[in-house]
Amino acid sequence: MSIIKCDNVSVKYMTGDFKAIGLKEYVVRHLTHNYKVKEFYADRNISFTLEKGDMLGIIGTNGAGKSTLLKAITGIMEPATGKVHTKGRIAAFLELASGFDPEMTIKDNTYLRGAMLGFTKKYIDERYYDIIKFAELEKFEDYTFKQLSSGMKSRLAFAIASQTQPDIIILDEVLSVGDGAFRKKSGEKMKEILASNVTGILVSHSVKQVREMCNKILWIDHGNQIAFTDEKDLYLDAYEEFLECKKLPESRADIEQMAVAHSIKVRAKEDAAMQKESEKLEKILNEGERESAIRAAIAILDNKCPEALNKKYIKEMGL
C-alpha cells in the first residue's frame, strides 16, 4: 500500500506581467491585444511511488521544479495533468518563519499556527509549554512577533512545526534551524520525527545530507524526470558528476560512467589531500623541533599504519 503516489504529474506555472496590473490596465491591454501570459510546465510527467517509511530525496539544480512539485503534493497547487495520491496527514516544513502575524503575541501566534497545522485546541494546550521551552522563548511569551530576532522567529516556527505527528513529512531545506546549540537540538528533534516510521520527502542542495537520510532518489532537471530510483549511491555519484560537467545522462550506461568518473575524482581528491598532509608532516619531521617531530611521526604512522602504534603508551606520554 503506497503512501504517496505521483502519477504522471505535470504542474503548470504562469509568468508574465499580469501580477502587477489592475483592472483598467487589463482592459486596455486586452483591447490593444497586448495582454501576454506565458504558461510553462514547471514539472512534466513526474511519477514515483513511496511506501511507508521511505525517505525520498529530490535533487536537481535551481529551477528544476522541486518546490513546485512539493506544492502539488501538499495540495497547494493542482497538477495540470496527472494525479497525486496521498494517504494520511501531511506536515510540510516550507519557509517556516513566514506567515506569522507580526502584530500578535508569541502565544497567539503559536495557537494560530498550531490551528493551521491542524492541531486541536486540547493538543496545543498540552504542548504549548513544551513549544515555548523548546524554542527557548520562556521570557518572551507576551512579546509581539515582530519584536523577536530572526533567529528567535525561526526557532519558534520550528518548535511549533515539530510538534506534528504526521504520516507524511515534507522538508524543503529545513532540517535544522538557528545557531550552534539550537541547530544541534533541532537536528536531533528532526531525526526523532523521521525515526517514527513516517514517509518523507526531502529537498536539499546538500548531496551529503540526501545521502545520509534518504533511501530513494528523484532527480529532476528543468521539470523533466531524469530518474526515480533506490540505487541512491550510484545516482548520487552520477548527480555530483553532473553538477561539475553539466551534462545530463541519457542512458543507464551514462549514469554508470558518470558515477565511476565521480568516484575516480573523489579518490584522486582524497589521495591528493593525503599526499599534501604527508608532505607537511614530513617537512616537520625533517626540520622541526624534537617534540613536534615526534608528533608528526606519530601522525604519519597513524595515517599509514595505525596498528603499529601503541596507543596506550602514546597516551601515557601525553602526546
User: Which residues bind to other proteins, rule: CB under 8 A?
Assistant: 13-14, 18-26, 71, 74-78, 92, 94-95, 98-99, 101, 103-104, 108, 111-112, 115-121
Is the Cβ–Cβ distance between 269 and 248 less than 8 Å? no
CB of 120 to other proteins, least distance (A): 6
Q: In the complex with other proteins, which residue's Cβ is closer, 104 or 297?
A: 104
Closer residue to other proteins, CB minimum distance, 104 or 300 = 104
Supply the minimum distance, in Å, between the C-beta of residue 13 and other proteins: 7
The angle that helices 150-161 and 106-116 make with each other, rounded to 10 degrees, is 40
Q: How far is the CB of 259 from other proteins (least distance, A)?
A: 36
Cβ at position 84, least distance to other proteins in Å: 12
Which of helix, strand or coil describes residue 161?
helix
Task: Please tell me the distance from the alpha carbon of residue 295 to that of residue 305, in angstroms, as a whole number.
Answer: 15
Gap between the Cα atoms of 239 and 208, Å rounded: 12
**Helices 121-134 & 150-161 angle (0-180, nearest 10):** 140
Nearer to other proteins among residue 80 and residue 299 (C-beta): 80
Q: CB-wise, 22 or 318, nearer to other proteins?
A: 22
Min separation Cβ 76 and other proteins, Å = 5
The C-alpha cell 540526501 sits at 210
Min. distance of Cβ 271 from other proteins in angstroms?
46
When the beta carbons of 1 and 23 are compared against other proteins, the nearer one is 23
Q: Are 43 and 10 in contact (CB under 8 A)?
A: yes
- Please name which of 213, 219, 182, 188 lies closest in space to residue 200, comparing C-alpha atoms: 213
The nearer residue to other proteins, 49 or 105, going by C-beta atoms, is 105
Nearest in space to 113 (alpha carbons), one of 98, 130, 135, 103: 98
Is residue 263 within a helix (H) or strand (E), and if so which, with residue range?
helix 252-287
CA dist 62 and 244 (Å) reads 14
One-letter amino acid for residue 183 of the chain: R
The whole-angstrom separation of Cα 112 and Cα 72 is 24
Give the Cα separation of 125 and 135 in Å (integer): 16
Closest to other proteins by CB, 24 or 290:
24
User: C-beta of 258: minimal distance to other proteins in Å?
Assistant: 36
Residue 153 contacts residue 117 (beta carbons within 8 Å): no
Q: What minimum distance in Å lies between the beta carbon of 56 and other proteins?
A: 20
* All residues at 6 or more sequence positions from 166 whose CB lies less than 8 Å from its CB, including other chains: 88, 89, 90, 91, 198
Nearer to other proteins, 141 or 244 (CB): 141
